[in-house]
Structure 1
Amino acid sequence: MLQRFFIFCSGADTDILNDCSAGENTKYAGVGATVFFTAVMAAIAGSYALFTVFDNIFTAVFFGLIWGLLIFNLDRFIVSTLKKRDNFFDELIQASPRILLAVIIAVVISKPLELKIFEKEINQVLLEQKNDLTLENKDQLALQYTPAVEGLNAEIETLKNEITTKEAEVNALYDVYISEAEGTAGTEKLGKGPVYKEKREKHDAELAALNELKTSNNAKIAFIETQIATLGTEYQDKIAETQPIIDGFDGLMARVNALGELPWLPSFFIFLLFLAIETSPIFAKLISPKGAYDLKLAEQEGALSSWVTQQKSQREILVTTDRDVNNRVYADIAEEQELYDYKRKIARELMQDQANAFYKKQKGVL
C-alpha cells in the first residue's frame, strides 16, 4: 500500500509498472518517497515562514499545506516528464530547465528552515539592530525638538541676565547712598542730607523697578519652562508611539537580512542539503540505465505516435478522394439539358415575382 502511494508520488504509469519487475517498482517508489518528503519539508518551511508574517498558527499551517501541495505537484511533474533518451547529453539538455526549477525550489524551501535553525542567533542580531534603531530614533526625534528647547532656554537666560544686570545697578545705587550717609563718598558729609535723600529716592525707584522686573520675568520664565516641559512630554510621547514599530521589527525580511549578517558557511551547507534532496530524483533518472519501464513506455508512446500518424494520413487520403469524386459528379450533372431547363424556368419565375413586387411598391408610393 505504501509502495503504491510512493509510486503515485513519482508520477510513473502504474499500468506499465504492473508488468515490470519488483526492482523497477522499488526504484520508482524511492523516487516518489523523495518527492513526498520534499513536499513535507516544504510545508513545514512554508508554515514557519508564514507564521513570521501572520503571527497566527492556523493561517500559517493552512497556507503552508497549500505551499507543500504546490511543491509536491511541481516535483511530481518534473520527475514524471523526464524521459530516458539514447544520448546522455540530450537527456541533460532536456533536464536543464527542470534542474533550474529544482534549484529555485531548494532555495525557497531551505531559507525558512535556516531561519528556524538559527533563530537564537538571528534574535541576537535583531536585538542589536533594534537597539541601534532605538538610539537613532531618539536622535532623529531630538532633532525636531532640540532647536525649540534651546531657543526657549536662551530666552530664559536672557530674562535672568536682565534681572542680574538690574540687581547690579540697584546694588550700586545702594552703595552710593550708603556712602553718602557715612560721608565716605559724594559730598563726604556725615548724615542724611538732601543729597542722601535724592540718592536714596533714586535707589528706591530702581529697587521698585527691579522687583517689578523680577515679577514680570519670573512669570515669563515660568511660562517658558512650561513650554519646555510640554516639548519634553511630546518628545517622550513620540518615542513611546514609535517604539512599538521598532519592537515589531522582526518580520520575514528582517530575519532574512539578519541571517545574512551571520557566517555564510552553515547556511550554504543547509542549502546544498536541500538542493541535493530536490535534484536527487532528476539525477537518479539521468544516471540510471534504461529499465523495463522506460522501454515499455517508449514502446507505448511510439505505438501511439504511429497510430496517430496513420490516422492523419488516412483522413488526408479520404478528403482528397471525396473531393475528386464530387468534382466528377458535378461535372457530369452540369452537361444535362433537363437540369438546365429546370433552373431556367425557376430563374424566369423569380424575375417575374421581383418585377411584380417592384410594381406594387411603386404604385403604393404614388
Structure 2
Amino acid sequence: MVLKFLLLPLAVLLLALSLLTAVRVPVAVNWRLAVLAGEYGYLLAVLPLGLAASIWWSRQSAAWPWALAGWLVCAVAIGLLLKPVVEAALLGQALPARLKTAFGPARIEQPVFSLDRLFFRRPPVASVTTHEYAPALQLDLRRPAAGAGPAPVVIVIHGGGWDGGDRNEVAGFNDWLVTQGWAVAAIDYRLAPGHPWPAQREDVQAAIAWLKDNGDELGLDTNRLVLFGRSAGGQIAAAVGYGTRDPAIRGVIAFYAPFDMEFAWSVSREDDALNSLNLMRQFLGGPPDDPRREVYRSASAQELVQAGRTPPTLLLHGSLDTLVWRRHSERLAARLAEAAVPHAFVELPWAVHAFEYNPHGPGGQLTTFACSWFLARLRGD
C-alpha cells in the first residue's frame, strides 16, 4: 500500500519536475519550478535516489511490478535532473573557441565548467555605496579594491517587465563582477505604466552622465562602460547601447531579452505567463501602429544596429524560455553578423528565464565564464 499509494506518486511528481529540463514550461506552470529543476537539479537528484532506496526497502513479492515501475520513474527523473550538468559540460568544451573567434583571445583563470564549483559558495560581498544620480533615482556602486587604478564600469539595468524590479536584483552577480576588476553601478529607473519609453533610456543616459561627472572622485574609468541587463533590462541596455552612439560604451551584455519590439508584439498573447501584450501597452503606449512606429523602433536594438558603430555584444538565452522567446537573441545575433559586429550568442539547451540565478549551477558557470571572457577582452587583458 505504501509503495502504490505514496512512494510511486512521489516518484511521478519528481519525474514531472525533472521534465522541465527537457520541455518548455506550459503557461500554467510557474517558470520558477523550471529554474529549480534546471539549475539546482543536481542537488535535487538525491530525492529520487532516496525514493528508489525507499521503494527497495518497502517492496513485497506481490508488488514487484509497482516496484519496477517506481525504480524506472526514479531513474528517468535522476537522468533528467542531471541532464543540465552533462549538457553544460559538453557545451563548455566548445565555448572558449567560440568566444575567441567572436572577441579574440583572453586570459581566464576560472574553468569553463567544473563539478567542484557546483557546490562552492558565493564570492565575497563587495562594499556598496548608494548615490542619487537623478531626482528620486539611485544607484548602488561597487568598486574593486583600491590600487589597480581607475576601474571600468558595468552599468546593471534590472529586469521586471518594465513595471517592476529594482537595483538589488541578483546582487551576488554584481559582487562577482567586482572580482573581475570592474566597478558595478546597479541603477533604478522609472517604471511603466507611469513612465513609458523613452523614460528608461533617459534614465540610463542620466546615470552615464552622473558617472562621468563623478568618475574621477570615485576612481572610475568612465571611458570604458558596459551596459548589462536581464530580460526587460537587457532590452533597455541594448537599445541604449546601440542608439546612444557614445564611444564610452564599449560593450553590451544581455540575458534573455527582447530586441525587436514589433516582433515581440506579434508573438505575444494575452494569456501567456506575463500577459505580455499588457506589459507592452504599458511600456510603449499601445500596439505598433503608425502613431507609435518610431517609439517601437527606438526601443528595438534590432533596428539600431549599424556596422562600425554598434558595440561588441554578448547574448545568452535559454532554449526553453517561455517568458522571452530565444528567437529574440537568435534574430539579433543574425543581424549583428550581417553588420560584422563582434558578438557571441550562447544558447543553453536546458535553460529557461533566470538561468544564472544559481551562480554555481550549470547555467551560472557558463554565464560567468562567458562574461569573464568578454569583460577581459574589453579591459585589454
Q: TM-score, normalised by structure 1?
A: 0.20
Q: Which has the larger radius of gyration?
A: 1
Which of structures 1 and 2 has the larger relative contact order (alpha carbons within 8 angstroms, sep 6+)? 1
Structure with the largest fraction of helix: 1
